Structure 1
Amino acid sequence: MMSRGHKLILLLAVLAMSGAMLTFLGKRQAAPAVELKVLGAPGVSLAQLRGKVVILQFWATTCGDCDHTLAELAQLHRRYQARGLETLAVAMVYDQPRQVASYAYANSLPFRVAQDDGSAARGFALGSANPPLTFLLDRSGRIAQRLPGKPDPGRLRAMVEKLLAERP
């Protein structure tokens, strides 16, 4: 039999999960109008990506959790790109462009890598948040989910599949 304390913890966990799902399913705000400087390619605006599901990953070359997250994103990107998934890895403003390019090349990242000039972090109101920080945008360019820290791969995959199944 569960003690009162265990029941309370279980109830809080269920409420937290419900709140996260409501955020995912609830009213979505438009993503900010951000233009990104892509390494070795023309820049891209988020408005240009409407019609696609977008994973926008803020990361840093000095972030240990970012290594794991970017590897997971590479797998997701390869799996779902043909179905309309676009992945953008946005390096933090304090990262040196040479280090960002070296990391992207050394890790064979299959998606676009951008260097933030500070406008993307301001647009997404990162404030003092530390990377990794993941945003999922629906096909209409709205923020469907904000995931601080290292996201759970199974949960992230399920969210991506749900967004890919939606129509704008």
Structure 2
Amino acid sequence: MTAPASPRSWKTPVALGAALLVLAGIGYATFARSVPAPDVTFISIDGQKISTQSLRGKVVMVNFWATSCTTCIHEMPAMVDTYNKFKGQGLEFVAVAMSYDPPNYVLNYTETRKLPFKVALDASGDIAKQFGDVKLTPTTFVIGKDGKIIKRYVGEPEFPSLHALLQKALAAG
């Protein structure tokens, strides 16, 4: 025979559940808030300077990648398709090669694959640091017209949901 439950035994799980809900809500609110994209200047492989400031008013994808990253190489045709699908609606795209990627590899890949968007070199690694110390590739940021980061993808994005997000961001005033 078991002893009767103490009157407080149900309170602990309820209190714990309530505390977890509060923490989850705080966590969601923290991550749901838009964070401004860092104020950086990309240097494209053809020497063009592109600042995040000059891209204000446009939806921008910034994709950190490397020629040695198999997932990056695998996703690149879908990134090209995504850019081609949305560029007419105002999408800008900057593919940022990581600091450890040899510039001649980046140039060769860009030319042989005829990448249609801007490709930049992050020779010093400063841009990756300013975007939250990006170390894993591919990492892609979607930045809204207001210059705030809408979404960060680590790894290959799920392209149908990325396209839906881009449609919504491009349609926003």
The residue type paired with residue 45 of structure 1 is S
- 1:50 aligned residue (50, 53, 56): 56
The residue type paired with residue 76 of structure 1 is T
Gaps of 5+ in 1: 1-18
* Partner secondary structure for residue 104 of structure 2: helix
Q: Shift in Å at residue 126 of structure 1? A: 2.5
Deviates more, 1:68-77 or 1:96-105: 68-77
* Partner secondary structure for residue 106 of structure 2: helix
The residue type paired with residue 87 of structure 1 is F
Distance 1:152 1:42 in 2: 31
The residue type paired with residue 74 of structure 2 is H
Distance 2:47 2:158 in 1: 30
- 2:85 aligned residue (79, 93, 113): 79
The residue type paired with residue 95 of structure 1 is D
Question: 1:148 — aligned with what?
Answer: 154
Gaps of 5+ in 2: 1-24
Query: Aligned residues: percent identity?
Result: 36
* Partner secondary structure for residue 36 of structure 1: strand
Deviations 1:61-85 (A, max 9, x none): 0001101222111111111111110
What are the residue-to-residue correspondences of 1:1-168 with 2, within 5 Å?
Answer: 26-116=32-122, 117-127=124-134, 129-167=135-173
Where in structure 1 do 4 or more consecutive aligned residues deviate above 6 Å?
none
Q: TM-score, normalised by structure 2?
A: 0.79
Q: Shift in Å at residue 40 of structure 1? A: 1.0
Aligned positions, number: 145
Question: 2:22 — aligned with what?
Answer: none
Deviates more, 1:66-75 or 1:47-56: 66-75
The residue type paired with residue 116 of structure 2 is P
The residue type paired with residue 124 of structure 1 is F
* Partner secondary structure for residue 133 of structure 2: coil
* Partner secondary structure for residue 120 of structure 1: helix
The residue type paired with residue 125 of structure 1 is G
Q: Shift in Å at residue 155 of structure 1? A: 1.2
